[in-house]
Amino acid sequence: MTNQIVQGILLGGYYALIACGLSFMFSVMRIINLAHGSLAILSAFALWLLASRFHISPFYGLAIVLPLMAVIGWALQRFLLERSARGGALLPILTTFGLAIVIDNVLFEQFGADTRSLAPFIGSLSYDSWEWPGSIYVGKLAVIIFVTAVVLLGGLQLFLTRTGLGRSIRATSEDPDTAGLVGVDARRANALAAAIAMVTVGLAGAFLGMRATFDPYAGATQLLFAFEAAVIGGAGSLWGT
């Protein structure tokens, strides 16, 4: 029983990680990003491509993929979500749903329907574990994912409460008009928030690829996991996830 509880807690670290970007984007921009899961799968495929074609470890590949995901997030907000948000609350949902379909089908066209994994590129880390008293086995990768989730959530919380940029993002999320009156650039704050959200999505996609298999249409399942964690923890609450 104790072993199952420990494994459940560690698995919760991954769920918190995959839900982090969805919850963060909703808390700041009040936008439900239905392309969330597909973007995570996109980052997993990008890391797989770097590892299989160029022999770059997925951990080193993050130095390439995460900045690219940040650029994608910034561009997504500036050129797509910002414009669609002017049409009401429903239009951004439809827009991101369409984006998810495009991403899924482009990945299918480029990589086919075969499942892939990043596990072969991280050596024994994918299956190594520590044995605790009581015959409790704790996977090393699961611990890394859990610690990463805690550090990421804590870092985001500190960023939002202790930095000028973070306070600008919070002010924009609460009242963009009033924030604009005191000199906060709402467009810049939202674009920055989207970039940060996509970095967390990219990180979640990386760990998904390391701990399991994925295919071009796995995004919907990951979106469901993210929704479950975000809703149970309280939509828009980082620590709730």
In a domain, 3, yes or no: no
Among the listed residues 2, 5, 14, 4, the one whose alpha carbon sits nearest the alpha carbon of residue 143 = 14
Q: Could you tell me if residue 69 is inside a domain?
A: yes
Establish if 239 belongs to a structural domain.
Answer: no
Q: What's residue 164's pLDDT? A: 86
Quote the pLDDT of residue 241: 53
* Burial of residue 54, with CB atoms counted within 10 A of its CB: 0-12 exposed, 13-18 middle, 19 or more buried: exposed
Q: Determine the number of helices (DSSP H) and then strands (DSSP E) in the chain.
A: 10, 2
Domain encompassing residue 102: 13-233
| pLDDT at 235 (0 to 100) | 61
203, part of any domain? yes
How many CB atoms sit inside 10 A of residue 71's CB?
12
pLDDT at 170: 86
Q: What is the mean pLDDT of each run of 10 residues along the chain (241 residues)?
A: 84 92 88 95 98 96 98 94 85 94 98 96 90 82 95 92 88 80 83 95 97 96 92 63 53
Question: What's the pLDDT score for residue 131?
Answer: 78
Residue bearing tokens 């494994």: 7
User: Residue 172: what pLDDT?
Assistant: 83
Report the number of distinct structural domains present in the chain.
1
Predicted confidence at residue 231, as pLDDT, reads 82
**pLDDT at residue 85 in the model:** 83
Within a domain: residue 147?
Answer: yes
Instruction: Dig out the tokens for 42 from the structure.
Output: 């996109």
Q: Is the residue at 5 inside a domain?
A: no
The strand pairing partners of 139, in sequence order, are: 129
> Which pLDDT does position 234 carry in this prediction?
66
Q: What is the pLDDT of residue 132?
A: 81
Residue type (1 letter), 142:
A
7 within some domain? no
Q: Which amino acid is at 64?
A: I
User: What's the pTM value of the predicted model, to 2 decimals?
Assistant: 0.92
Specify the pLDDT at position 165: 87
Burial (CB count within 10 angstroms: exposed 0-12, middle 13-18, buried 19+), residue 78:
middle
Determine the pLDDT at residue 67. 98
Q: What is the pLDDT of residue 182?
A: 79
Is 1 a domain residue? no
Whether 107 contacts 216, CB under 8 Å: yes
